[in-house]
């Protein structure tokens, strides 16, 4: 298990926003939050609330209006540009497409804060670059042209570049956006491996489910500031409320599930043994507005063994179906006929 985590990154009454000439326009009240060493922290908040602005401000790409960002209790505004680049790495959704640029060249740019004025790669740097490529799961990709990579591979190459920068902290702005499902999990797995090896990652995402099921900590940005805690803490304190409109999204604060059905209209009893088949049957029934009842109902669903399918039992009448799709059709017919 993880040891007592040390707070490596602290956001202290940080005011983020924009400057127009001398005018300072804050987008949120002062923010306070922290991330522990080796933790995966997900930044959540509705669209446009300032997730990206917060991450850009932490990374120094955008100036803060007030407050401070501390790394190991040291104010980063005292950091030199190079020291900061050796401490914090940044990855965004920005797609880098440069023709004739090899994965190796891209990752080599991560050595920027360490190389001389020509950017010469020596043997040590070369080892670090190859090691970063390998860690990102891109062994054998060194000579591949980045514009010919898949989106997931390219994002991993960007992460490899940040790894070559050899920073303790990685700030990732929507690293999973624009990736297909396998790409998303590819990158997410890499992020979890990196935190397991001691890196601290703070990332923003639109994917609520990925965040609450994988992050060690959530920074939930609300209009009143950041609420932080384990994903489950925020469930218990009903804090995700600000992200969803329960009534219209069918969000269930009891277990964190979503359903877009009309409210559960009827109860149904499900007979059969536990397991994968039952789980999916329950899901299908719920999606169609049925609550699983503990008492026998008429009609009820009986799961048959093995490949046999399902039966819809109503008194003596038993109708079989080979797929959930057919079963649901049968059920709908029942519902339409007044009993």
State the residues that interact with another protein by CB under 8 A: 59-61, 81-82, 84-86, 88-90, 92, 94, 96-101, 104-106, 109-110, 112-113, 115, 117-119, 121, 123, 126-127, 130, 133, 139-143, 147, 161, 165
Q: Quick one: 25 or 337, whose CB is closer to another protein?
A: 25
Q: What angle do CA 228, 234, 239 make, to 5 degrees?
A: 95
Q: Quick one: 94 or 254, whose CB is closer to another protein?
A: 94
DSSP, collapsed to helix, strand or coil, labels residue 119 as: coil
Q: Using CB atoms within 10 A of its CB, is residue 159 exposed (0-12), middle (13-18) or buried (19+)?
A: buried
Using an 8 Å Cβ cutoff, are 200 and 39 in contact? yes
Q: Quick one: 105 or 326, whose CB is closer to another protein?
A: 105
User: Quick one: which of 97, 191, 75, 193 has its CA closest to 145?
Assistant: 97
Minimum CB distance to another protein, residue 89 (Å): 7
Minimum CB distance to another protein, residue 255 (Å): 39
Minimum CB distance to another protein, residue 56 (Å): 8
Q: Quick one: 114 or 208, whose CB is closer to another protein?
A: 114
Minimum CB distance to another protein, residue 305 (Å): 42
Q: Quick one: 142 or 222, whose CB is closer to another protein?
A: 142
CA dihedral (315, 316, 317, 323) in degrees, to 10, reads 80
Q: Quick one: 46 or 97, whose CB is closer to another protein?
A: 97
Task: Give the separation between CA 326 and CA 329, rounded to whole angstroms.
Answer: 5
Tokens of 225: 């500031």
Can you spell out the DSSP letters for 226-260? EEEE-HHHHHHTTGGGGG--HHHHTEETTTTEE--
Task: Give the separation between CA 176 and CA 51, rounded to whole angstroms.
Answer: 14
User: Quick one: which of 198, 214, 230 has its CA closest to 38?
Assistant: 198
Minimum CB distance to another protein, residue 292 (Å): 47
Minimum CB distance to another protein, residue 272 (Å): 44
């Amino acid at each position: 298990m993880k040891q007592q985590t040390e707070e490596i990154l602290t956001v202290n009454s940080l005011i983020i926003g924009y400057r127009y000439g001398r005018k300072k326009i804050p987008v949120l009240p002062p923010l306070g939050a922290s991330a522990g060493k080796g933790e995966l922290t997900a930044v959540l908040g509705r669209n446009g609330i300032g997730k990206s602005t917060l991450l850009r401000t932490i990374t120094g790409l955008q100036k803060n209006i007030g407050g401070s960002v501390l790394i190991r209790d040291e104010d980063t505004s005292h950091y030199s540009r190079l020291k900061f680049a050796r401490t914090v790495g940044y990855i965004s959704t920005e797609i880098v497409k440069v023709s004739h640029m090899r994965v190796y060249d891209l990752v080599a740019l991560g050595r920027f804060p360490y190389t001389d004025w020509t950017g010469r790669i020596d043997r040590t740097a070369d080892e670090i670059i190859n090691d970063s490529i390998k860690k990102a799961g891109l062994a054998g990709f060194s000579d591949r042209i980045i514009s010919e990579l898949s989106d997931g591979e390219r994002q991993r190459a960007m992460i490899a570049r940040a790894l070559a920068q050899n920073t303790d902290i990685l700030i990732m702005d929507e690293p999973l956006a624009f990736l297909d499902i396998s790409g998303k999990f590819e990158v997410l797995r890499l992020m979890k491996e990196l935190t397991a090896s001691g890196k601290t990652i703070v990332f923003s995402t639109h994917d609520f489910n990925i965040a609450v099921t994988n992050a060690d900590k959530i920074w939930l940005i609300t209009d009143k500031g950041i609420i932080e805690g384990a994903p489950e803490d925020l469930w218990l304190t009903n804090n995700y409320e600000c992200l969803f409109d329960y009534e219209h999204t069918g969000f269930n604060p009891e277990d964190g599930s979503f359903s877009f059905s009309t409210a559960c209209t009827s109860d149904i009893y499900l007979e059969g043994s536990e397991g994968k088949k039952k789980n999916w049957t329950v899901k299908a029934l719920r999606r169609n507005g049925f609550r699983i009842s503990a008492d026998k109902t008429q009609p009820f669903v009986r799961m048959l063994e093995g490949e046999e399918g399902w039966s819809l039992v109503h008194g003596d009448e038993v109708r079989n179906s080979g797929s959930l799709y057919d079963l649901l059709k049968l059920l709908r017919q029942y519902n339409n006929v007044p009993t």
